Each structure stands twice: as C-alpha cells, then as structure tokens.
Amino acid sequence: MPNDSNADERARRLDPVAVNAALRRLVRAPEPPWLHAEVARRMAEKLQVIRHQPELVIDWWSGLGAGAKLLAQTYPKAQRVLVEPGAAWVARSREQAQRPWWSPERWSGAPFSVLSEDGDIPTGAGLVWANMMLHAVVDPTALIARWQQLLRADGFVMFSCLGPGTLRELRALYDRVAWPAPTPGFVDMHDFGDMLVRAGFADPVMDQETLTLRWSNPRALLAELRLLGGNAAPDRFAGLRTPRWRERLERELESLAAPDGTLGMSFEVAYGHAFKAAPRLRAGEATMVSLDDMRAMVRSSHGRAKPR
C-alpha cells in the first residue's frame, strides 16, 4: 500500500493496516476468492469488443485478481508484467507461474515477469488490467495517475472493484443494532470516472452490476467474507469479539434468511475502462514526444474511431 495521509484514510474509511493484514492472510490461500475469479471472467469478456492489441500488458495485483490465464489466452503474443502488492505475493506468483519442462507453454508462451508494485514497472504498456483491487487502495487517484504514466498513448486501462451497494444488507443489520460499520467506504463509479478524466484518460466508460451471493447458513457466509478480506473499516470493533457476540451476530443474520432458508448478500461490482489520450501539441512550445506517442497522434489525426 502506498503511504497516505491520515486525512485521506479517514475520507476513504479504509484502514491500510487492516488491508495489509488481509493481504498477508490471503497470500497463504491456495487460490484467489471465487468472486474475484468470476468478476475476472466477466471483465475478460469485455476485452472481446476492443480491437486494440497490446504488446505489453500490466496485470496489477495479479495473484489476487485471478486474471493471469485469461489475459494470456486473450493476448497470447503479448509480454505480460504481473505486479504484486508485496514480496510474499511476488514469490507466490513466480511459483505458480512456473511451467513444467514438458509443457508446450514453457517454450512457446510469451515472456512474462513478476514485480512488486513499489518497484520499477516498465512503461509503454498497451493495457493496464486491475481486477477487484481498487477498493482496497486508500488513494485511488494517485494509483490511476500512475497507471496513466505507465501506458503508451492510445493504451487503455481496464479495472473492476466493489462499489457502495456492496453488503448493504449487512450494513443495515449493523446499523439497526448500533454496531460500528462492517465494511470500509466504497467509491462510487462516477467518482472513478472523474479520476480517470483528471489523470488524462479519454472518454472513460463506467458500468456496474449487482451480484447476489447466497449461503446456506451464517457461518458459511462469515467464512467467505473473511476470505474476501474481512472488515478494513477504521471504525470497526477494536480487538477480538466474544463467543457470545458471535452467537448474537449469527442469530441476527438468520433473521435475514429467505423463505428457502438461504442468506443473500449484495455485491456491487463497478467496471471501468478508458484510453490514454494522445498528447496535444500547442504552437510556439518546444515539446519532447516519444516515437510511440507521435505515432498515436498521427493515427488520431487520421480520424481513427475509438473501439468500444
């Protein structure tokens, strides 16, 4: 996590210490959460309508995002950089990415590398992909600006994250019994669109859908919420809860059961993508422009339609 001011943390209602603790726990899991894999699959479907074929793909928080195989299948010739939130995640991704000597992919697959997000990430990418991680960042504005700098002109970013409608049933329950908030604060997708524009992206497209997940009992529900990262709100309960409190929570959750006995929770998933705008030259100024950016400006001047 980047270092951010206490004011930013309070504004986001997100505790980076709790986020880092969740990351240390999740790195030991054999696979990323099911919800992350499902959202990655849905987001990958959106790539099919974009004609742009990147030569370099940056997969941000790759291990937790569950999109590495999907990106390799979609762009088999592209070089991929898997960016992870820390050393333990880098080691995990490198271990999982090792292909056996007898696998054809070991000899025919495109090159890839695994780097930490605080390292020297290569620039000139055609795609920055970030699945289900932006809601865990205290300063998304700074991260989006960094993505813009890593992209080549006419490269694009595609991301997904949880939105404000996530776990609204659980928040209503906690509010009713006067408990602290059970979730961190989530950013509205329209605010993400504004961040993209301010960072220098062109024509951002934002979308959202609400998924309802169901569980057979409160214990199964709470176990999966822990797998998704737990509660990273700074105003959450301090310290451990007692068994008596846990029993009351389970009773309260049972009161939300549907007629078939299952418990449902809403997850708002926001999707966003935008292209990096080609640089504009103003008369009378001496400006240094890279060869890639110059080619992008030439394509733009010929009226290239932006694929969607």
Residue 308 has pLDDT above 70, yes or no: no
Q: Which residue has the higher pLDDT, 273 or 293?
A: 273
pTM listed for this prediction: 0.84
Helix (H, G, I), strand (E, B) or coil at 13: coil
> How much is the pLDDT for 298?
47
Mean pLDDT score, 33-59: 95
> How much is the pLDDT for 240?
81
Q: Which CATH superfamily is domain 6-301 in?
A: Vaccinia Virus protein VP39 (3.40.50.150)
Per-residue pLDDT band at 109 (split at 50, 70, 90): low
Per-residue pLDDT band at 170 (split at 50, 70, 90): very high
Express each pLDDT in 228-244 by its tens digit: 998 999 989 887 889 99
Residue 49 has pLDDT above 90, yes or no: no
Q: Which pair of structure tokens corresponds to residue 154? A: 């006419």
Q: Report the phi/psi class of residue 80: left, alpha or beta, with left for phi > 0 and alpha for psi in -120 to 50.
A: beta
* In the chain, where the domains are located: 6-301
Instruction: Using CA atoms of 212, 216, 217, 220 in order, give the dihedral in degrees to the nearest 10.
Output: -80
**DSSP state letter for 132:** S
> How much is the pLDDT for 100?
56
Per-residue pLDDT band at 117 (split at 50, 70, 90): very high
| Residue 62: burial class (beta carbons within 10 Å; 0-12, 13-18, 19+) | buried
Q: Fill in the amino acid letter for 51.
A: R
Residue 5 has pLDDT above 50, yes or no: no
Residue 290 has pLDDT above 80, yes or no: no
Which whole-number Å values give the CA distances from 246 to 22, 81, 102, 250, 264, in the listed order?
20, 42, 50, 6, 19
Express each pLDDT in 63-73 by its tens digit: 999 999 999 99
> How much is the pLDDT for 6?
47
Percent of the chain scoring above 70 in pLDDT: 83
Average pLDDT over the chain reads 87
Weakest-pLDDT range from 48-57, 78-87, 91-100, 252-261: 91-100
Per-residue pLDDT band at 56 (split at 50, 70, 90): very high
Helix (H, G, I), strand (E, B) or coil at 39: helix
DSSP-assigned letters across all residues of 196-207:
HHHHTEEEEEEE
